[in-house]
Structures are given as C-alpha cells and as structure tokens.
C-alpha cells in the first residue's frame, strides 16, 4: 500500500510538473524545468562580484523592478558565499563565449544563479527571471502573493544582433515620460534598438540650436481629427498648437535611460523627402520657394513641395549643422537619413537641378537623389557616424558605406546584400505594426494587413543571402492613425512579442501554437501593468470567392486553433446557439442582407462580433491578401 501511495505521489508530481509549462517570450535557446521552486522573501540577498559597478547597476535594476509589487527591499552584498540559502547570484563567467547577450539562468529551491560574460547578458537574464515570477510582479502597487519562481535551467542567446522597434513621433508627438515607458517594454522583450523617427512632413521633434525655427515653427501644426489624408488643410487664422518636441536635455535623459536598459537609440532625420516641416521653417531650402505649412494629415498634391533641393548648397550647410548637433547626442554608430518616397517633380522644374545633373553627368532623377545621399553620407561620416536608410537609397546607386533598411518587402535588402552591404530587414507586409491585425470591419481604420501569425512567420534571412550581412530586423509603428498612447499599445502588442521571438529565438524553437498559449499568460501580465493590447487573433477570418457559376461562397477560418465559429444570416447577433461552421464553404441564403460571425472557446465568447453586409462580402472577392492573409 505504501508503495502504491508513493507511486501515485510521484505520478501526480510528474503530471503537475508537465502540466505547468513555463511561458517565456522570446523563447529561450534551451530550457529544462527542474523540481521545486524558489521563494523570494525579505531574507533573500543579492550577491555580486566585488567592485563591479556595471553588475551592481543590473542587480540594482532587478531590486528596484520588484520592490513596489513585492514590498521587499533586496540588499546587495559583494562576494558572500555563493549558493548560500536565499541568494540571487550575479556571476561574471569569463569561460563563457564572448557574446555579450549570452546568459545562463539557474533557479533552484535554494538559490538563483545568473551567469554571463557581460552585464548585458545578465540584464537579459533578469528579464527572463522577472517572467518566472507571478504576473503581479508587473504591478506598481503592493501585491499579497507568494513570490515563487519555478526551478529551471535556461541557456540563452539571441539569433540576431539587431533587434529593433521603430516609433514615429512626427505624425503624433508622445511625451518624454511615455517614451521611457515604451523603452521599458522593449527591454522586457529583449529588444536592443529603439529607432526614433524624429522628423517628417507632420512635425520636427528634436531641438537644433543652430536652427531654432525647426521647433518653433516645424514642431507645430493645426489641430485636426478624422481620417488621415482626408483632413481639411490649415487656414491662415488657425492656431498652430498641436505637436511638441524634445529638447537636447530631454534627448540626453532618454538616451541614458535606454542605455541603462542596454538599448541603443537610432535617430532618424528623414531627407530629402518627407521634409515639409523643414520647409515650413526654412522655405529657402526648397527648389520652388513659396510659403509652406506643416502637414496635418491633408492629402499631398503635386503642387505641394516636400523635398529638399539637391542643387542648393545651403541645404548641405544646414544638414552639416543638424547632424553636427545630433551626432553627439546619440552613441549609436548610425544615423538614419530616411531617403524614402521623395517626390522629385520639383527637381525636374528646377534649372539649378538640371544644371547640376549636366555638370555631374547624372542621367536621371534617381541618380540625382543618389548624388544627394552620397553627399549626406560624407557629412554624417564627418561626425563619426555611418548612414542607414530606407531601401530607396539603392536607386541611382548606393552610397559606398551605407546600410539598407529594407521595407518594401525583402528585395531591397537582398539587392543590397548582393552588393556586400549590411541590411536590416523590416518588410512592411510582415512587421509594419500600424497595419490591420484583424478584420477591418471591427478594427480602427488604417491600411494594409499584417496579422499576428504573419508577423510571427517573419524570418529576416532570405535564402541565398550571406547571413553575416543580415544584421537583424525590426517592427515599425508609423502613427498617422495612432493619435494616443493607448492606441499605440493596441497596435504594438501582441505583434511586438512576435517580432521579439523572430529576432531572438532559434528558428527551430519557434512554434506558433505554443506561442499563442504563451500570449494568454502574458496578456494577464499586461493587465497587471495596465498596458493595452489587441485580441484580434481570436477573431474570425472571413474570405469570399465566386464559384464557376458566379455564385458567392464564404469561408470562415481562424488564426489559432481551438476556436469554434458561429454565424447568422438573419440579422441577429451570432452566439454559441447559432449555426456552427463545419469547415465547408457557405452559400448565402436567398434575401440575406447581413452575415454575422463570432468565435467561442470552451463555450465562452472569445472574438469580436463581425457584421458584414452583402456588399462587404462582394467587395472581398479577389482581395484575399488584404482581408485574410495570415502567412506565406
């Protein structure tokens, strides 16, 4: 009988052990769950090497991160007995490979070991350790829970060295304190690059003391709401009060804040196009001259110039001073110079530009833009930096030392790599975080489609390209349709989780179904942190096509497994008492006017109610990618 009880206890323990998977994002390289758990108490101590300021800073970061929810003020000691009871040990291990991001994390019931070759690796171990504690660790107020972490052995290192997220603060300005909060979340997911899109047609966001009108004029526009590109142009009497900018002191503060979290900030000054905010402040840098207004979401017409004039020598004097002030503010070795979507029509009309092209032997406008980019590269190099630009900088000839950020698919990145240039992959159809992530009928208005599953399938290294030339990748959030921080979070999460796993985790460790299970855990953690996020992955996907007779047929699918789909054609809301979709394409009943669809999980509503008119359904025929694409 005792043997039987012992066997049952072992079996129950093993089942409990196997039924509680550890949900770390991004997925570590190697993870073995062990028996037991470490319980954090007021008696726990942090142990660090003697006289190592950088390690102490990481240990202090961990202590401060947990102090509010736990109420525990961990003390930090130097070289106390390793593996003593209730110790969290930060160990510099010179025997490990010299990869700065690599770490091992060992959690036992008695102690926790964090080993790395560098403080940077220790910092990433801390991010993993925080995910092992209960979800309330994300809260900013005292929580009464048992602070336990499962025993586990993790060995981890990133797949790529460039792991980034871009935030556009030109279309809508987000204040300094929110930028810090945003950086905190990037650090949680082990991103190491924050690409800061600081200038565009809708606002100039960084103080340049040599040109004060960039912020006194270029940082402000008229207040407008409504659909982007359909807004009314500004009127002369209207106040230009919407916007803002970061002082150089703000920039230094944010850069330091990011550095403490092992994140480097990539500043972007977008030229020669997307420069209307510059021209509003300094119209003399245009080809056509005249009066310019900072754009507030009004559609551009060919009579609106928003491009710097490449034949104007004062433009290069201007850029020399601008980059001269920006370069010392950012330790990042790169400055992003944009180079995308430059309208060149005014260059055609400029006698000076035509004379320049003749003098330099330039055959077309693409080569004229390349001439401009190459001159900008020399300016940036004179400040001790390298240029990186959007893939349009390939057109007309790539600058000698330029790195390409490929956004129009991966073709630009492949072309740059074939020319032996380094590349950051950021293809819009995979990792543009401002695109629809669910059915446009129930999502805030935007354009294009990048469902979570499509983002998760992102692989930065295409076949046939030398891996050494692919630095990594990033997700981009353009903010034309993102006016608030709450909506910013809705668009970024959970797709940023997918980008993080694509850039950090080994390719063979990625698993879509397990990833979606992990997200459910992280949604509850985000609730504790009061962060917004989208649940669009639970929504039904509605696709239409016409059969050989021209009859409209409807297919219903979902991104994730385990969901039931219910639908109606009679105008009533769908629920789990409605018709259940059985996997075969639906015919539309005669005289039906509306299809309504909803998903359930375990007899509870999970997705949003989607309501589509017959016209909506007709409009979807032949537009599979826009409305339904989820993977390659």
CB 120 within 8 A of CB 100: yes
Q: Say which residues have a Cβ less than 8 Å from residue 385's Cβ, sequence separation at least 6.
A: 323, 327, 332, 333, 334, 335
**Which position among 341, 360, 466, 520 bears the catalytic label?**
341
CB 125 within 8 A of CB 116: yes
- Using CA atoms, how far residue 215 sits from 148, 271, 295, 368, 600, in Å, is 50, 17, 14, 29, 51
Q: Say which residues have a Cβ less than 8 Å from residue 589's Cβ, sequence separation at least 6.
A: 569
Count of Cβ atoms closer than 10 Å to residue 546 Cβ: 12
The Cα–Cα gap between 246 and 326 comes to 12
Q: Say which residues have a Cβ less than 8 Å from residue 591's Cβ, sequence separation at least 6.
A: none
DSSP for 298-310, please give it: BPP-TTS--S--T
Phi, psi at residue 108, to the nearest 5°? Answer: -125, 165
249 is catalytic: no
Contacts 24+ apart (CB under 8 A), 564-567: 564/599, 564/600, 564/601, 565/540, 565/597, 565/598, 565/599, 566/597, 566/598, 566/599, 566/600, 567/595, 567/596, 567/597, 567/598
Residue with tokens 């900072």: 294
The Cα–Cα gap between 596 and 612 comes to 6
Count of Cβ atoms closer than 10 Å to residue 221 Cβ: 25
Q: Say which residues have a Cβ less than 8 Å from residue 568's Cβ, sequence separation at least 6.
A: 574, 578, 579, 595, 596
The Cα–Cα gap between 632 and 430 comes to 10
Give the residue numbers annotated as catalytic, written as ranges: 341
């Amino acid at each position: 009988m005792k043997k039987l009880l012992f066997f049952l206890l072992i079996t129950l323990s093993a089942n409990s052990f196997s039924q509680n998977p550890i949900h770390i994002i991004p997925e570590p390289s190697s993870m073995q769950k062990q028996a037991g758990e470490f319980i954090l108490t007021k008696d726990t101590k942090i142990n660090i090497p003697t006289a190592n300021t950088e390690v102490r800073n990481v240990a202090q970061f961990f202590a401060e991160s947990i102090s509010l929810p736990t109420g525990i003020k961990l003390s930090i000691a130097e070289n106390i007995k390793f593996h003593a009871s209730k110790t969290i040990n930060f160990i510099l291990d010179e025997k490990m490979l010299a990869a700065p991001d690599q770490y091992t994390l060992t959690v036992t019931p008695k102690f926790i070991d964090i080993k790395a070759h560098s403080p940077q690796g220790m910092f990433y171990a801390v991010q993993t350790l925080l995910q092992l504690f209960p979800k309330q660790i994300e809260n900013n107020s005292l929580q009464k829970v048992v602070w336990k972490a499962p025993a586990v052995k993790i060995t981890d290192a990133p797949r790529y060295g460039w792991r980034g997220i871009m935030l556009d603060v030109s279309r809508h300005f987000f204040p300094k304190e929110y930028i810090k909060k945003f950086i905190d979340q990037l650090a949680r997911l082990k991103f190491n690059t924050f690409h800061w899109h600081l200038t565009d047609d809708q606002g100039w966001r960084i103080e340049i003391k040599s040109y004060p009108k960039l912020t006194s004029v270029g940082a402000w526009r008229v207040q407008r709401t409504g659909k982007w590109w359909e807004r009314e142009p500004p009127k002369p009497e209207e106040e230009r009060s919407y916007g803002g900018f970061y002082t150089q002191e703000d920039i230094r503060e944010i850069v330091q804040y990011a550095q403490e979290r092992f994140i480097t900030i990539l500043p972007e000054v977008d030229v020669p196009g997307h420069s209307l905010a510059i021209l509003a402040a300094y119209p003399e840098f245009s080809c056509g001259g005249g009066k310019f207004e900072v754009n507030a979401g009004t559609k551009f017409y060919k009579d609106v110039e928003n491009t710097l004039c490449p034949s104007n020598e004062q433009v290069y004097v201007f850029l020399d001073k601008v980059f001269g002030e920006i370069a010392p503010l950012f330790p990042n070795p790169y400055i992003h110079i944009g180079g995308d979507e430059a309208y060149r029509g005014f260059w055609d009309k400029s006698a000076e530009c035509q004379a320049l092209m003749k003098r330099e032997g330039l055959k077309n406008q693409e080569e004229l833009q390349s001439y401009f980019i190459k001159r900008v590269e020399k300016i940036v190099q004179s400040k001790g930096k390298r240029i990186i630009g959007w893939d349009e900088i390939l057109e007309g000839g790539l600058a000698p030392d330029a790195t390409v950020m490929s956004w129009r698919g991966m073709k630009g990145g492949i072309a740059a790599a074939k020319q032996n240039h380094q590349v950051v992959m950021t293809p819009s159809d995979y990792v543009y975080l401002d695109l629809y992530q669910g059915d446009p009928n129930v999502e805030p208005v935007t354009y294009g489609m990048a469902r979570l599953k499509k983002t998760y399938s992102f692989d930065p290294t295409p076949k046939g390209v030398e891996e050494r030339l692919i630095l990594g990748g990033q997700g981009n959030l353009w903010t034309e349709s993102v006016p608030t921080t709450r909506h910013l979070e809705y668009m970024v999460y959970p797709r940023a989780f997918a980008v993080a796993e694509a850039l950090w985790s080994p390719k063979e460790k990625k698993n879509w179904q397990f990833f979606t299970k992990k997200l459910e855990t992280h949604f509850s953690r985000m609730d504790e942190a009061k962060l917004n996020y989208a649940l669009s992955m639970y929504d039904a996907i509605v696709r239409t096509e016409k059969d050989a007779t021209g009859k409209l047929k409807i297919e219903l699918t979902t991104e994730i497994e385990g969901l039931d789909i219910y639908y109606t054609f009679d105008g009533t809301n769908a629920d789990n008492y409605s018709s259940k979709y059985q996997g075969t394409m639906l015919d539309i009943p005669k005289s039906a006017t509306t299809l309504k669809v909803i998903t359930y999980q375990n007899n509870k509503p999970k997705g949003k109610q989607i309501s589509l008119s017959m016209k909506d359904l007709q409009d979807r025929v032949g537009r599979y990618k826009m409305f339904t694409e989820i993977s390659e």
